[in-house]
Structure 1
């Protein structure tokens, strides 16, 4: 991670779970992080919680260098004006971003025969359109500054690699399949322009985050599900992200699946 020290990363969905864990690990490796979330005031607490989680699982090590600086910014990735304002702030105050982690995501049951259209649109806006707008702005910024070693990481999902196990998950699965297609399209764009910017997809299996807790029909059963089902922790996914961005210039991790031992899906 030495080459990323004092450089700038942007992380979406940084106020909880995987996004907070990625932010924490980047900071500990000397990267300056612009952490984006709808509620910026929750980001610092979430990053501290990620640190405590790492300590509780024996995963914490004292930073080997001066930690990076955290810049918490409010940004709703469903609103293009918010995204453009965030990138303008980064350009005006930090010069621009060298790493983009597209972590913001939304999921849940959304039956294809009776879900309200607004629910589908919101999921697509977060998982596909918002991700694409953030990626476009990051890549344009890198190219404008002559950054030829930047890195974009999409946090995808195991459901982006298989057909849905339940019909209610079809729309969510479709958005994650779209994320993988978009990553491949971006890779071809970089290759055609002879650009050395990298694009990676990290696809987690079942992770213990607030994702299940926030599902209306699962909230009461969340702890029971965690107790009975093999699962990962947010720092496991953060480890995979850092592995991707820490590869040598000639190495690109295109797609990485991270599953807990014993997971049966898909």
Structure 2
């Protein structure tokens, strides 16, 4: 895709950016829009491969570990001198009825998806306040609004990401920092296919107005918009990236 310099010279960090999902798609779009990009992931081999493909800097990070989150932010600033955009894409899903869900299953999804977004947002915002500006873009989900069988843990985590986004935005508005989120309904990528049955994916796709899942780059485009100066008056917003009808 041809870029339009929407993020020219901005320093952008993207978590969970290895592989072929939304994270790598938004990292690619940021590069195309002129940004200097740092990608992060817990899987170091896939991270190195993705960084080589995109020509970006890479810093391994497990978002459940506060020391690693700090190292990600400090490493980015050491490399580029600042942090303009933090894109929190890291999340963990799965399908389990609440009748069968264990404490460990619940806690793991919440720790990666909600607590990880909190840790990264907090660290990024402290840097942005110190330097005088920036933007955070979080990856939520429409299941934060809508009921779906087997998604109690993931839905609770994503609803938490939405609330975190709105409240954090108010905390830093006076510093000229924006905090927004996207809420995709259904995005096609290999990891989703591994944890979701073909029957359920087909059912979910049939509910979309276009009869298909979004491509990762279609979600990434909205994230790039929120990261850019074109969204200068948006903060505390959760933008649905969906064609789903009732």
TM beyond 0.5: yes
Residues 1:173 and 2:155 aligned together: yes
Q: What is the distance in 1 between the residues matched to 2:100 and 2:201?
A: 28
In structure 2, the partner of 1:161 is: 145
Q: Which protein has the larger Cα radius of gyration, Structure 1 or Structure 2?
A: 1
Alpha-carbon separation, structure 1, partners of 2:233 and 2:67:
35
Alignment match, 1:56 = none
Residue 200 in structure 1 maps to residue 180 in structure 2:
yes
CA distance in 2, matches of 1:184, 1:223: 30
2 CA distance for matches of 1:186 and 1:223?
33
Tell me the secondary structure at the aligned position of residue 84 of structure 1.
Answer: helix
Residue of 33, 37, 52 corresponding to 1:29:
33
Deviation at 1:93, TM superposition (A): 2.1
Q: CA deviation at 1:203?
A: 0.6
**1:113-141 alpha-carbon deviations (Å, 9 max, x no partner):** 22222111111111111111101110111
**Match runs of 1:185-224 below 5 Å:** 185-191=167-173, 194-215=174-195, 218=197
Listed as ranges, the matches of 1:61-80 within 5 Å are 70-80=56-66
Shift of residue 177, structure 1, vs aligned partner: 0.6
Q: Deviations over 1:197-240 (max 9, x none)?
A: 1111101011101242221x62x658866886521000000111
- Paired residue for 1:102? 88
CA RMSD in angstroms, aligned pairs only: 2.5
Structure 1 stretch displaced more, 121-130 or 250-259: 250-259
Give the equivalent residue in structure 2 for 1:6. 9
What residue number does 2:224 align with?
242
Q: Is 1:34–1:70's contact at 8 Å kept on the other side of the alignment?
A: yes
C-alpha contact (below 8 Å) 1:11/1:34 kept by paired residues: yes
Q: Deviations over 1:155-187 (max 9, x none)?
A: 11111122x231x21121111110111011111
**Structure 1 unaligned spans of 5+:** 52-68
Distance 2:56 2:219 in 1: 20
Question: What are the equivalent positions in structure 2 for 1:226-265 lying under 5 Å apart?
Answer: 230-248=212-230, 250-252=232-234, 254-260=237-243, 263-264=244-245
Distance (whole Å) between structure 1 residues aligned to residue 12 and residue 200 of structure 2: 32
Aligned residues: 237
List alignment gaps of at least 5 residues for structure 2: none
SS where residue 100 of structure 1 aligns? strand
